[in-house]
Amino acid sequence: GCDSMMISAAKLAGSWPDLNLEPITGEGYGTDPNLISPPDQAWPLTLTTAQRATVNVLVDILIPREGDKPSASEVNVTNLLDEWVSAPYPSFQSDRVEILSALVWFDEESERRFNTGFVQASPTQRLEIIDDIAYQEAESELRFAYISRVFDAIRTLVTIAYFESPEGTKEIGYQ
Protein backbone atom coordinates (compact mmCIF):
# COMPACT_ATOMS: atom_id res chain seq x y z
CA GLY A 1 0.00 0.00 0.00
CA CYS A 2 0.92 3.63 0.45
CA ASP A 3 3.16 2.92 3.46
CA SER A 4 5.33 0.48 1.49
CA MET A 5 5.60 3.04 -1.34
CA MET A 6 6.78 5.63 1.19
CA ILE A 7 9.32 3.17 2.61
CA SER A 8 10.60 2.38 -0.90
CA ALA A 9 10.87 6.09 -1.70
CA ALA A 10 12.72 6.69 1.57
CA LYS A 11 15.14 3.86 0.81
CA LEU A 12 15.84 5.29 -2.66
CA ALA A 13 16.17 8.87 -1.40
CA GLY A 14 18.65 7.76 1.23
CA SER A 15 20.55 5.58 -1.25
CA TRP A 16 19.87 2.50 0.84
CA PRO A 17 22.37 -0.33 0.18
CA ASP A 18 21.01 -3.34 -1.67
CA LEU A 19 22.92 -6.24 -0.12
CA ASN A 20 22.99 -9.74 -1.51
CA LEU A 21 23.58 -11.75 1.68
CA GLU A 22 24.38 -15.42 1.98
CA PRO A 23 21.60 -17.22 3.89
CA ILE A 24 22.28 -18.16 7.51
CA THR A 25 22.69 -21.90 7.90
CA GLY A 26 23.05 -22.30 11.69
CA GLU A 27 20.64 -24.72 13.33
CA GLY A 28 19.27 -22.68 16.22
CA TYR A 29 17.90 -24.16 19.41
CA GLY A 30 15.24 -26.39 17.91
CA THR A 31 11.93 -27.00 19.66
CA ASP A 32 13.41 -28.57 22.80
CA PRO A 33 16.43 -26.55 23.95
CA ASN A 34 18.77 -28.07 26.53
CA LEU A 35 18.47 -25.59 29.40
CA ILE A 36 20.54 -27.69 31.84
CA SER A 37 23.74 -27.48 29.81
CA PRO A 38 23.12 -25.08 26.93
CA PRO A 39 25.82 -24.77 24.27
CA ASP A 40 28.41 -22.01 24.74
CA GLN A 41 27.23 -20.56 21.47
CA ALA A 42 23.93 -21.43 19.85
CA TRP A 43 25.00 -20.72 16.23
CA PRO A 44 28.03 -19.41 14.35
CA LEU A 45 28.49 -15.64 14.53
CA THR A 46 28.59 -13.94 11.14
CA LEU A 47 29.74 -10.32 11.54
CA THR A 48 33.06 -9.61 9.84
CA THR A 49 35.88 -7.84 11.67
CA ALA A 50 35.03 -4.60 9.82
CA GLN A 51 31.32 -4.91 10.70
CA ARG A 52 32.21 -5.56 14.36
CA ALA A 53 34.40 -2.43 14.35
CA THR A 54 31.49 -0.34 13.04
CA VAL A 55 29.12 -1.87 15.61
CA ASN A 56 31.64 -1.14 18.41
CA VAL A 57 31.74 2.53 17.37
CA LEU A 58 27.94 2.78 17.09
CA VAL A 59 27.13 1.10 20.40
CA ASP A 60 29.66 3.29 22.22
CA ILE A 61 28.12 6.42 20.69
CA LEU A 62 24.78 5.23 22.05
CA ILE A 63 26.12 4.20 25.47
CA PRO A 64 29.57 5.69 26.10
CA ARG A 65 31.74 5.05 29.14
CA GLU A 66 30.80 7.43 31.96
CA GLY A 67 33.27 7.42 34.84
CA ASP A 68 33.28 3.89 36.24
CA LYS A 69 30.21 2.88 34.22
CA PRO A 70 31.40 0.85 31.23
CA SER A 71 30.48 1.58 27.62
CA ALA A 72 28.25 -0.74 25.60
CA SER A 73 31.19 -2.38 23.80
CA GLU A 74 32.91 -3.01 27.15
CA VAL A 75 29.96 -5.16 28.30
CA ASN A 76 29.92 -7.17 25.02
CA VAL A 77 26.84 -5.58 23.45
CA THR A 78 28.59 -6.11 20.09
CA ASN A 79 28.53 -9.88 20.70
CA LEU A 80 24.81 -9.77 21.38
CA LEU A 81 24.18 -7.86 18.16
CA ASP A 82 26.34 -10.40 16.32
CA GLU A 83 24.27 -13.24 17.81
CA TRP A 84 21.09 -11.37 16.84
CA VAL A 85 22.02 -10.94 13.17
CA SER A 86 23.44 -14.47 13.01
CA ALA A 87 20.34 -16.20 14.42
CA PRO A 88 18.78 -18.68 11.98
CA TYR A 89 15.16 -17.57 12.46
CA PRO A 90 13.11 -15.64 9.86
CA SER A 91 12.37 -12.55 12.00
CA PHE A 92 16.05 -12.25 12.96
CA GLN A 93 17.02 -12.67 9.31
CA SER A 94 14.95 -9.67 8.24
CA ASP A 95 16.61 -7.68 11.07
CA ARG A 96 19.97 -8.91 9.76
CA VAL A 97 19.37 -7.41 6.32
CA GLU A 98 18.37 -4.07 7.87
CA ILE A 99 21.24 -3.92 10.38
CA LEU A 100 23.94 -4.97 7.90
CA SER A 101 22.54 -2.51 5.35
CA ALA A 102 22.69 0.21 8.01
CA LEU A 103 26.38 -0.57 8.64
CA VAL A 104 27.06 -0.11 4.92
CA TRP A 105 24.96 3.08 4.95
CA PHE A 106 27.13 4.56 7.74
CA ASP A 107 30.29 3.88 5.73
CA GLU A 108 28.84 5.23 2.48
CA GLU A 109 27.47 8.35 4.20
CA SER A 110 30.83 8.98 5.88
CA GLU A 111 32.67 8.48 2.56
CA ARG A 112 30.25 10.88 0.86
CA ARG A 113 30.71 13.57 3.51
CA PHE A 114 34.28 13.11 4.70
CA ASN A 115 36.04 10.84 2.16
CA THR A 116 36.67 8.27 4.87
CA GLY A 117 34.89 5.28 6.38
CA PHE A 118 32.71 5.66 9.46
CA VAL A 119 35.19 3.95 11.81
CA GLN A 120 38.06 6.08 10.50
CA ALA A 121 36.08 9.34 10.74
CA SER A 122 36.69 11.64 13.70
CA PRO A 123 34.32 11.46 16.68
CA THR A 124 32.92 14.88 15.65
CA GLN A 125 32.28 13.67 12.08
CA ARG A 126 30.57 10.50 13.31
CA LEU A 127 28.31 12.52 15.61
CA GLU A 128 27.39 14.83 12.74
CA ILE A 129 25.99 11.79 10.89
CA ILE A 130 24.29 10.39 14.00
CA ASP A 131 22.73 13.78 14.82
CA ASP A 132 21.14 13.85 11.36
CA ILE A 133 19.38 10.51 11.89
CA ALA A 134 18.92 10.06 15.63
CA TYR A 135 15.96 12.31 16.27
CA GLN A 136 12.29 12.18 15.31
CA GLU A 137 12.67 15.08 12.86
CA ALA A 138 14.91 12.84 10.72
CA GLU A 139 11.89 10.79 9.70
CA SER A 140 10.40 13.83 7.95
CA GLU A 141 13.52 14.33 5.80
CA LEU A 142 13.16 11.79 3.02
CA ARG A 143 16.84 10.91 2.63
CA PHE A 144 17.09 10.07 6.35
CA ALA A 145 13.59 8.63 6.84
CA TYR A 146 14.57 4.98 6.43
CA ILE A 147 17.96 4.97 8.17
CA SER A 148 16.42 6.85 11.11
CA ARG A 149 13.88 4.03 11.59
CA VAL A 150 16.55 1.35 11.37
CA PHE A 151 18.82 3.32 13.70
CA ASP A 152 15.98 3.59 16.21
CA ALA A 153 15.61 -0.22 16.15
CA ILE A 154 19.38 -0.62 16.65
CA ARG A 155 19.28 1.87 19.54
CA THR A 156 16.47 -0.13 21.20
CA LEU A 157 18.39 -3.40 20.77
CA VAL A 158 21.59 -1.87 22.17
CA THR A 159 19.75 -0.43 25.19
CA ILE A 160 18.11 -3.76 25.99
CA ALA A 161 21.41 -5.62 25.57
CA TYR A 162 23.24 -3.15 27.78
CA PHE A 163 20.76 -3.26 30.62
CA GLU A 164 20.61 -7.06 30.50
CA SER A 165 24.37 -7.26 31.08
CA PRO A 166 25.57 -7.79 34.67
CA GLU A 167 26.95 -4.22 34.73
CA GLY A 168 23.76 -2.77 33.25
CA THR A 169 21.45 -4.55 35.71
CA LYS A 170 23.66 -3.26 38.53
CA GLU A 171 23.39 0.28 37.16
CA ILE A 172 19.58 0.22 37.25
CA GLY A 173 19.61 -1.30 40.73
CA TYR A 174 18.10 -4.63 39.68
CA GLN A 175 18.38 -7.26 42.43
pTM, rounded to two decimals: 0.79
- Are residues 28 and 87 in contact, defined by beta-carbon separation less than 8 angstroms? yes
Higher pLDDT, 31 or 21: 21
> Taking residues 116-142, what's their average pLDDT?
90
- Are residues 148 and 82 in contact, defined by beta-carbon separation less than 8 angstroms? no
Q: Would you say residue 174 has pLDDT above 90?
A: no
Q: Which one, of 173, 167, 141, 136, lies nearest residue 151 by Cα? A: 136
